[in-house]
């Protein structure tokens, strides 16, 4: 179990000098992975043949839930969104370093999120696990998807950023301290990795960033085909 630290009578936290990084979502939930053009996922529009009419119809949707409505408009019209690649090569290779199929898995989870409105990473993961888009041998009930996503979350928490080449070396050598919105501090030591992984998975969600700032959410022509981008941003639950 993680070490939970409470304030003394003066409201002070007496912590040993461990050099642990602190994640502090005090006033509002904080991002564990920030959005940027580096975190865009590119999907090819396949199935029914896309054309200029589709592009104009999708891009004209400007509802409150426009991304969900745009995705579902394409799916309802008989199109599919097939993951192509991440927009940023460094970020994609960082993901591949963690696991070679991780870009595809995350792309599938993002599509679940934007299609259904489900934002919890855990809930999206359950959908992907059941669908098994990679085609893993599930006869032995190995937790393929959960294992890989947990590895990603830990690597993000302890050093991996989208735009910088990830070498797998963790910045946090002792552990990780999380300040909850209640003011309670929870310290996860490296020996409690399983508890830390569970905490991250159960307490994070996909967040929708600015479509204009990060350049996603519109159908666009690429060569002779058409593509659509979704953006990855991960935040602690509020």
pLDDT of residue 14: 36
Higher model confidence: residue 168 or residue 119? 119
pLDDT of residue 95: 98
Hey, is 21 helix, strand or coil? coil
Q: Check residue 120 and report its DSSP letter.
A: B
R_g of the chain, CA atoms, integer Å: 20
pLDDT of residue 83: 98
Q: Is the pLDDT of residue 184 over 80?
A: no
Higher model confidence: residue 146 or residue 238? 146
Domain boundaries, the chain: 3-12+19-236
Q: Is the pTM of this model over 0.75?
A: yes
Going by pLDDT thresholds of 50, 70 and 90, the confidence category of residue 102 is very high
pLDDT digits (tens, 9 = 90+) for 2-45: 443 333 344 433 333 344 454 544 445 688 999 999 999 999 99
Query: Tokens at residue 200, please?
Result: 């991250």
pLDDT digits (tens, 9 = 90+) for 49-93: 999 999 999 999 999 999 999 999 999 999 999 999 999 999 999
CA 209 to chain centre: 12
**What's the CA dihedral at 125, 128, 130, 134 to 10 degrees?**
-130
Q: Compute the average pLDDT of residues 127-134.
A: 97
Q: In what order do the strands lie in the sheet with 225-231?
A: 79-86, 40-47, 225-231, 219-222
Hey, is 134 helix, strand or coil? coil
């Amino acid at each position: 179990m993680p070490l939970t630290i409470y304030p003394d009578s003066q409201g002070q936290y007496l912590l040993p000098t461990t050099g642990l990084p602190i994640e502090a979502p005090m006033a509002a939930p904080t991002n564990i992975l920030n959005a940027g053009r580096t975190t865009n996922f590119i999907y090819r529009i396949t199935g029914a043949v896309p054309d200029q009419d589709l592009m104009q119809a999708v891009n004209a949707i400007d509802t409150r839930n426009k991304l969900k409505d745009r995705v579902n408009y394409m799916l309802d019209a008989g199109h599919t969104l097939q993951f192509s690649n991440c927009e940023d090569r460094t970020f994609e290779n960082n993901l591949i370093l963690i696991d070679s199929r991780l870009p595809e898995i995350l792309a599938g989870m993002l599509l679940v999120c934007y299609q259904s409105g489900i934002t919890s990473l855990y809930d999206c993961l359950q959908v992907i696990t059941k669908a098994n888009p990679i085609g893993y041998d599930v006869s032995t009930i190995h937790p393929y998807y959960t294992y890989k996503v947990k590895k990603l979350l830990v690597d993000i928490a302890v050093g991996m950023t989208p735009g910088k080449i990830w070498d797998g070396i963790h910045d946090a050598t002792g552990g990780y301290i999380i300040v909850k919105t209640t003011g309670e501090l929870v310290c996860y030591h490296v020996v409690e990795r399983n508890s830390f992984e569970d905490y991250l998975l159960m307490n994070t969600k996909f967040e929708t960033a600015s479509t204009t700032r990060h350049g996603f959410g519109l159908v666009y022509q690429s060569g002779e085909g058409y593509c659509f981008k979704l953006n990855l941003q991960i935040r602690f639950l509020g």
